Amino acid sequence: MCGISGIFSFSGQVNKERLANFNNALTHRGPDAQNVYISTSGFLGLGHCRLSIVDTHEHANQPFLSNDKRYSLVFNGEIYNYLELRADLERLGHYFYTQSDTEVLLAAYIEWGENCLQKFNGMWAFAIWDDLKQKLFLSRDRFGVKSLYYKEYEGEVSFASEQKAFKHLDGSITFDLNNVNNALIFPQSVEAHRETIYSNIKKLLPGEFAVVEQNHLRISKWWDTYESVFQVEETVNADLLTDLFEDACRIRTRTDVKLATSLSGGLDSSAVTSQLACFKDVRVEKQLKAFIGSFPGTQQDEFKWGKAVVDHHQLPYNRVNIETDNLIDILFKSTIALEDMNSLPAIGQWLIYESMNKEGYKVSLEGHAGDEILGGYYPYFQAYISDLINERSDINALASAIPMMGQIPNCNAKVIRENLLKVSESYLSSNKKLTKRQALYRRYISNISALQTEIVKEKTYDTYMNNSQLFQRLFEDFHYFSLPNILKNYDRLSMAHSVEIRSPFLDYRFVLAAFKAPHQLRIAKGKTKVLIRDHFKFIPEPVRNRVDKSGFTPPIFHWLENELGYWLKDWIHQKDFLESGLFDGQLLSRDIHTFIKQKNWKAIVSLWPLINLSILESA
């Protein structure tokens, strides 16, 4: 895992000092080595900040050049199946000088061109320069685990792993007010759009590559999950998925450094930690250790569930107590690291990765995407029940499904009735948050453009619309809504502390099989995540059977009653806040002041994206 950067100038030489400043803005992503490369023509410069994980020797540093010096590579991520690809390439006559996946990636591109992408099992954002053809090739992995931002401006194309790096390229970055407003209204869709909240900074979307040559940038789509699902030939059952998950975990232990897990006690992180604990060699050789976030003394504290997992497997662990010491300092650092607007502070995640870094861990295996693949979120109950009603074929299944509504936090008879009345609604029409945000934020922002509500390209396929509502909800959250935002946020939070995240549930083989799997392995018989609950027997039974899902949610109301509230009361009267160029600071200040006096913490939380934005604007 690293940070990459580059400049392709169409009209003049790349300034090495300017490139180095651009690249060094990403040092937190790669503290082990920072290097830049200028092509023979001088029109192309590449930068790399390395976090040494696979083959930690200097000869694997980047930018990495081919033996004939024609190709140069900068690469952020991991190719987990690099050992298998290396063997294939050796049979084709390639010779390797390092033990790194970096060298394998470059050889694969030289041998197969852009078709190499289909052979990779991993996460990545990389750039390859062909000095002979004067061509730059950029690529992003299937599901967008690694970000790649670019900017076309004043006769050059520049790119980087993070948006804030561009501030060090041009001296400043500015907000695009229209994009900011749209992001406020529907923040979960931000990662599904090419545009960002910053002027002129765009992103490659998941499963895309770009070619820059002859003063032109061309973007192509190389991966389509929906089409690929139909190419899965095996009969998908619990045994296949269990085997795929085990192998996904196994190949993600390929590293020359220690391994950690971030364990919340939820089903997904418990699945990853428990599977790793079954690998005796990994436990010893990689010094496997769990880091459990804890909110002591609050209702949000789930330490007991994480402790149940490590006790069952006799794993060493570190309880990371997330308390209010230095809360405001962490608030600012984490908000700036995240770069975009978020609905809650990320204090807990920040402290967990900080703890890993202090103990010398560079890699953390985690459970991201389990909810979106296997139906873990409460709104999926509604989609599942809607399918049962529409099918009108299984009364017993419907009878067992309706009580699932009782698992929803603060659920009562009224909530159940309301959800049942909405079961046939579409995703967007049932997402009342959208209309609530429009009404709420219209008080503070202006020029709200028409929101691009239809970003799911698969909805143009007749075969896609014939799928169940549950399938569509899962597919869209995985590719367009909740998951892309989660992946981006966790990348920023972990890499701020030089920690790489690896997610076995995102192994593309598992993803394809899971989307082809029958719904009975997701939601059935009154249970969610049936695959994990009924078939992942390596997880302690009390954890597998728990239904009180809460997620890693901070005790935000408690914080607002204390340190966070004291800070906020002062912050909303600062000049920068009152004179914001992004929202009506005077009005927002008055409203928040009133809510603080009323102790209406829920109202303040609903305004947190604007508070978050004010911190970004002040940075």
Annotated binding site for L-glutamine: 101
| Distance of alpha carbon 119 from alpha carbon 116, whole angstroms | 5
Nearest one of 372, 373, 384 to 469, comparing CA atoms? 384
7, 45 contact by CB (below 8 A): yes
69 phi and psi angles, rounded to 5 deg: 65, 10
CA angle 79, 83, 87 (to 5 degrees): 130
- Using DSSP's 3-state secondary structure scheme, residue 128 falls into strand
| Distance of alpha carbon 273 from alpha carbon 194, whole angstroms | 35
Residue 480, judged by CB atoms within 10 A of its CB (0-12, 13-18, 19+), counts as buried
| Distance of alpha carbon 438 from alpha carbon 434, whole angstroms | 6
| Distance of alpha carbon 428 from alpha carbon 451, whole angstroms | 12
| Distance of alpha carbon 140 from alpha carbon 488, whole angstroms | 13
Binding residues: 101
Residue 252, judged by CB atoms within 10 A of its CB (0-12, 13-18, 19+), counts as buried
| Distance of alpha carbon 572 from alpha carbon 182, whole angstroms | 23
Could you give the C-alpha distances from 446 to 9, 177, 288, in angstroms and in order?
Answer: 37, 9, 51
DSSP string spanning 564-586? Answer: HHHHHHHHTTSHHHHT-SSS-HH
| Distance of alpha carbon 67 from alpha carbon 97, whole angstroms | 10
| Distance of alpha carbon 255 from alpha carbon 148, whole angstroms | 24
| Distance of alpha carbon 61 from alpha carbon 51, whole angstroms | 9
576 phi and psi angles, rounded to 5 deg: -60, -35
Active site positions, annotated? 2
